[in-house]
């Protein structure tokens, strides 16, 4: 099984970006931890990050037929981008949405996700560890859906 880890705008600045909200782990730290977890459960990963909406859509298109599912933190595009949700719907790649912060406990404009209605599930508010939970949950869901032998 292959899973894509997709991060959107400003997540390249994790580690120094508003650490009181997003913590001190860098994106490299998070991707490194995920790589170790993925190896331990027999899953391979591909990763991508972009600050641009179109580039994120191109990554999703390019992962069609390549990945079995995607863990995505779309950053602020979560709240605005129908185009991103359309890319998931168009490719039919199952995805789990993750947010470091609890978007439902923040400013009103962050309390809605336009992606969520198309997602397998969402993890939010649990910091960097949320990526692990999202990965394990996605793999578990795909495994039970497809009856494959891997386990999360």
Nearer to ligand DQA, 1 or 134 (CB): 134
For the question of residue 79 being annotated catalytic, the response is no
DSSP the chain: -EEEEEE-TTGGGTTTS-HHHH-S--HHHHHHHHHHHHHHTT-EEEEEE-S-HHHHHHHHHHTTTT-SEEEEE-GGGGGT-HHHHHHHHHHT--EEEEESS-GGGS-GGGS--SSGGGSSEEEESSTTHHHHHHHHHHHHHHHHHHT-S---
Smallest gap from residue 38 Cβ to ligand DQA (A)? 20
CB of 77 closer than 8 Å to CB of 9: yes
> Which parts of this chain interact with ligand DQA (CB under 6 A)?
10, 73, 75-76, 78, 99-101, 103, 110
> Looking at 22, 61, 104, 133, which residue is catalytic?
22
> Looking at 61, 79, 99, 104, which residue is catalytic?
99
Which residue has the CB atom at the shortest distance from ligand DQA? 75
What span, in angstroms and rounded, lies between the C-alpha atoms of 105 and 87?
27
Smallest gap from residue 32 Cβ to ligand DQA (A)? 18
For the question of residue 22 being annotated catalytic, the response is yes
Nearer to ligand DQA, 74 or 152 (CB): 74
Tokens of 19: 């650490």
Nearer to ligand DQA, 1 or 122 (CB): 122
Smallest gap from residue 76 Cβ to ligand DQA (A)? 3
What span, in angstroms and rounded, lies between the C-alpha atoms of 35 and 109?
33
Nearer to ligand DQA, 1 or 97 (CB): 97
Smallest gap from residue 116 Cβ to ligand DQA (A)? 12
Residues forming the active site: 22, 99
């Amino acid at each position: 099984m292959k899973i894509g880890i997709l991060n959107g705008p400003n997540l390249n600045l994790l580690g120094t970006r508003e650490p009181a909200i997003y913590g001190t782990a860098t994106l490299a730290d998070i991707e490194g931890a995920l790589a170790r977890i993925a190896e331990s459960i027999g899953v391979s990963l591909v990763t991508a990050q972009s600050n641009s909406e179109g580039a994120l859509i191109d990554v999703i298109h390019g992962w069609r037929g390549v990945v079995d599912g995607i863990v995505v933190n779309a950053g602020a595009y979560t709240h605005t981008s129908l185009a991103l949700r359309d890319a998931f719907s168009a490719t039919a790649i199952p995805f789990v949405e993750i947010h470091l912060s609890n978007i439902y406990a923040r400013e009103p404009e962050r309390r809605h996700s336009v992606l969520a209605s198309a997602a397998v599930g969402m993890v939010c508010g649990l910091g960097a560890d949320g990526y692990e939970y999202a990965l394990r949950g996605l793999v578990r869901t795909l495994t039970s859906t497809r009856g494959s032998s891997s386990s999360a």
